[in-house]
């Protein structure tokens, strides 16, 4: 059962699961309000799935500063509803979390055993979801990932390509470093972890690392867009929510999935994007 199936990651998870031969119950927001405990209990019970994959999320990092209660309800409380319903149905549950649970001050990649230190309302809501999931269902996997982009949802690549057609120059921060992760790659790894019934916490992100500024330059380079990228700072950008400056995710778990490097994911995303836009 994939909850949040209409989102960017959820769509790819459904597709990957079906390609792997699984029977999939796909529920988007229109089919299931994850904040409705009774509706969640009924939906999970009726599905009789072996696994419940929670891809539903409040993702507006800056918006959460003004809507922390809503972010907590969707990312935190609802995660507990899904995990509890999965337990009652005898199912394993997965919760997709974020590098935002770390403060980015370590100076080197974060492993699963590193202490969390959320900086923002969004980060606190994701950590609340991790804890609610773990408390409600011992058969759980918390999967932390970062900087997602994929076909079928708003993301940094689409934002840059849009700006690149409107402007000759953009300024992008170069003091935040992470791993841009293609949802097509992540979804396949996620389905594999589900099939194995992995439990606990795991980090899965693209290989390599870069700043947002470097990512933007690669996007324009690969897409053939003649837009110049100027480096800026987070302070200059003045966004409401604080961001971890260097929160690269890596795993210390034996057998953890190893995804392709981020630039490879970008290349394949652009090919998939062009195919999706091509006339039938």
* Sole residue written with tokens 């230190």: 117
Q: Write down the pLDDT at residue 278.
A: 65
Q: Write down the pLDDT at residue 91.
A: 96
CA distance 189 to 233: 33
> What is the model's pTM?
0.94
List 234's β-bridge partners, or say none.
Answer: none
C-alpha torsion angle, residues 42, 48, 49, 50 (rounded to 10): 120
Residues 6+ apart with CB under 8 A from 210: 177, 178, 179, 180, 218, 262
CA distance 168 to 66: 33
Q: Write down the pLDDT at residue 279.
A: 65
Interior/surface letters 111-121, b for 16+ CB within 10 angstroms, e for the rest: ebeeebebbbb
Q: Write down the pLDDT at residue 133.
A: 98
Q: Around 84, how many Cα atoms within 13 Å sit in the side-chain half-sphere?
A: 20
CA distance 121 to 119: 7
Q: Write down the pLDDT at residue 3.
A: 96
Which is catalytic among the residues 58, 95, 110, 122? Answer: 122
Q: Which fold has domain 2-155+180-207+248-260?
A: Rossmann fold (3.40.50)
- pLDDT of the chain, 280 residues: tens digit per residue: 999 999 999 999 999 999 999 999 999 999 999 999 999 999 999 999 999 999 999 999 999 999 999 999 999 999 999 999 999 999 999 999 999 999 999 989 999 999 999 999 999 999 999 999 999 999 999 999 999 999 988 899 999 999 999 999 999 999 999 999 999 999 999 999 999 999 999 999 999 999 999 999 999 999 999 999 999 999 988 889 999 999 999 999 999 999 999 999 999 999 998 887 766 5
Backbone φ and ψ for 150, nearest 5 degrees, come out as -170, 165
Known catalytic residue at 122? yes
What angle do the packed helices 37-47 and 78-88 form, to 10 degrees?
40
DSSP state of 249: B
- Whether 263 and 141 have beta carbons less than 8 Å apart is answered as no
Q: Write down the pLDDT at residue 153.
A: 81
């Amino acid at each position: 059962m994939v909850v949040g199936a209409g989102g960017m990651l959820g769509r790819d998870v459904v597709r990957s699961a079906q390609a792997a031969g699984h029977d999939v119950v796909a529920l988007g927001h229109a089919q299931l309000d994850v904040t409705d405990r009774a509706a969640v209990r009924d939906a999970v019970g009726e599905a009789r799935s072996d696994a419940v994959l929670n891809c539903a999320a409040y993702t507006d990092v800056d918006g959460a500063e003004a809507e922390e209660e809503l972010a907590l309800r969707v990312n935190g409380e609802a995660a507990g509803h899904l995990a509890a319903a999965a337990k009652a149905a005898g199912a394993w549950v997965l919760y997709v979390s974020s590098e935002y649970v770390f403060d980015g001050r370590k100076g080197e990649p974060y492993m699963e055993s590193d202490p969390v230190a959320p900086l923002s309302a969004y980060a606190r809501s994701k950590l609340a979801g991790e804890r609610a999931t773990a408390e409600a269902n011992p058969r759980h996997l918390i999967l932390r990932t970062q900087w997602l982009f994929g076909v079928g949802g708003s993301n940094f690549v689409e934002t840059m390509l849009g700006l690149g057609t409107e402007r000759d120059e953009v300024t992008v921060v170069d003091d935040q470093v992470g791993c841009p992760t293609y949802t097509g790659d992540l979804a396949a790894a996620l389905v594999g972890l589900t099939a194995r019934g992995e439990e606990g916490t795991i980090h899965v992100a693209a290989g390599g690392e870069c700043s947002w500024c470097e990512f933007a330059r690669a996007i324009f380079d690969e897409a053939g867009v003649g837009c110049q990228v100027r480096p800026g700072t987070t302070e200059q950008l003045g966004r409401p929510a604080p961001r971890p400056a260097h929160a690269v995710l890596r795993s210390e778990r034996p057998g953890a999935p190893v995804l392709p490097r981020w630039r490879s994911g970008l290349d394949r995303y652009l090919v998939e994007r062009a195919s999706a836009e091509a006339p039938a």
